[in-house]
Amino acid sequence: MRANLFSSWGNTLLTLALVAMLAWVLPPAIDWLVLDAVWGRAPAAACDAVRGQGACWAVVAEKFRFMLFGFYPYALQWRPAIVIVVLCTLLVVSAIPSFWRPSLALVWAAGIALAFWLMGGGLGLERVRSEQWGGLPVTLILAIFGVAFAFPLGVLLALGRRSSLPVVRALSVVYIEVIRGVPLITVLFMASVMFALFLPENLRIEQLLRAQIALILFVAAYLAEAIRGGLQSVPRGQYEAAAALGLPYWKSMGLVILPQALRVAIPSIVNSFISLFKDTSLVVIIAIYDFAYAVKKSVETDFSWKPYFIEAFLFSIAVYWAFCFAMSRYSQWLERGLAREGRA
């Protein structure tokens, strides 16, 4: 403690200054956030009474159904609630290495099928069009499918960019550079407008699917570069040893090169996943109501709760942060585990 905080005059001054600042900022912050806040279900009038002194968490309690599910029919909201639980359970289970076996793919397929059945209805459940979907399930679906499809596409693009076939290499380079040079919002707009122009009248793709495809195409370009960095870190001798054993290209990539490259690229890959998770909130510009938008809408539309939009936003920040922080910690844990078993 002494060595860390008071090792020199400069450090001592800095320490005292920081302590003073914390003493100045923390107590009122804690007062507002916790002690003087209105917790649980309470009428808006209760919040008006302590306005300026305490946070109004009652807004979250009041509006959380709309925040989580958006315009999904109120009576049917148990369905997206189950979807959230199913998807989160799948994510947690998939994070545990001892569950990494082929059957996990089947579990995912079943989970996804269940999620879409619950969201969309049919087969005995009342139909809910995807235009009515909203809130956290939409965010989770966009993020999970984004990862699931962008990742393999990114691997292919990274390999393509290093291919010895000039056509494959050129196509990969053009794709990556074009997509990376364009804002996500424009890609979303293009997906929203262009698909409708190109595809025949009877093959209308739903708006949500268009947004999903745009996200996948966008993130894949970034992932490709992250993975290419990993590929470059694998020594040439590894390629040669795999070739010398007679392993054909795809087997040598899949069994020897990619396992090493992806390990190195984990931090940048997770970086892209975290970006993807947050970027899903941009789909609002093509009228898809994800979690962030549902939170905004929930307070905007209700005059008596409108003043408490800060608390509502803090809630959505906390939710996004929890997901992103979990991803970050998980990737660190994964890296440490792999480092232990790999090159000692």
Partner 1 sequence: MSAAGGRDGVVRDVPARRPPARTGEPAIRIEGLSKWFGDFQVLRDIDLCVEAGERIVVCGPSGSGKSTLIRCINRLEPHQRGRIVVNGIELTDNLKNIERVRSTVGMVFQHFNLFPHLTVLENCTLAPIWVLRKPRAEAQAIAMRFLERVRIAELAGKYPGQISGGQQQRVAIARALCMNPSIMLFDEPTSALDPEMVKEVLDTMIMLAGEGMTMVCVTHEMGFARAVADRVIFMDEGEIVEADTPERFFGSPKNERTKRFLGQILHR
> Cα torsion for 269, 271, 276, 279, to the nearest 10°?
-160
Q: What b-and-e string marks burial along 255-279, b requiring 16 or more CB atoms within 10 Å of the CB? A: ebbbebbbbbbbebbbbbbbebbeb
Q: Considering beta carbons, is residue 200 or 248 the nearer one to partner 1? A: 248
Q: Which spans of this chain sit near partner 1 (rule: CB under 8 A)? A: 235, 237-238, 240-248, 251, 255-256, 259-260, 263, 341-344
Task: Give 260 or 271: the residue with its C-beta nearer to partner 1.
Answer: 260
The least CB distance from residue 260 to partner 1, in Å, is: 5
Distance in Å, CB of 249 to partner 1, minimum: 8
Give the start-end residues of each E strand in 224-300. Answer: 289-290
Q: Rounded to the nearest whole angstrom, what is the least distance from the CB of residue 342 to partner 1 in the complex? A: 6
Sign of CA dihedral 140, 146, 148, 149: positive
Cα separation, 128 vs 196, in Å, equals: 22
Cα Rg for the chain, rounded, in angstroms?
24
Which residue, 73 or 342, is less far from partner 1 as judged by CB? 342
CB of 167 to partner 1, least distance (A): 17
Q: Tell me whether residue 43 or residue 342 sits nearer to partner 1 (CB atom).
A: 342
> Smallest gap, in angstroms, from Cβ of residue 256 to partner 1?
6
* Nearer of residues 142 and 261 to partner 1, judged by Cβ: 261
Q: How far is the CB of 155 from partner 1 (least distance, A)?
A: 16
| Smallest distance, partner 1 to C-beta of residue 226, A | 18
- Please identify, using beta-carbon distances, which residue of 234 and 314 lies nearer to partner 1: 234
Residue 203: DSSP 8-state: -
| Alpha-carbon 141 to chain mean position | 10
Q: How many residues does the chain have?
A: 344
* Residue 223 near residue 154 (C-beta atoms within 8 A): yes
Report how far residue 298's alpha carbon sits from residue 301's, in angstroms, rounded to the nearest whole number. Answer: 6
Nearer to partner 1, 4 or 98 (CB): 98
Q: For residue 215, give every residue at least 6 positions away whose Cβ sits within 8 Å of its Cβ, in sequence order, or none.
A: 142, 146, 150, 184, 188, 276, 279, 280, 283
Q: How far is the CB of 160 from partner 1 (least distance, A)?
A: 18
Q: d(Cα 35, Cα 328) in Å, to the nearest integer?
A: 31
Q: CA triplet 292, 296, 299: central angle to 5 degrees? A: 145
Query: Smallest distance, Å, CB 263 to partner 1?
Result: 7
Nearer to partner 1, 201 or 341 (CB): 341
Nearer to partner 1, 28 or 342 (CB): 342
Are 188 and 285 in contact by the 8 Å Cβ rule? The answer is yes
**Rounded distance, CA 130 to CA 204, Å?**
13
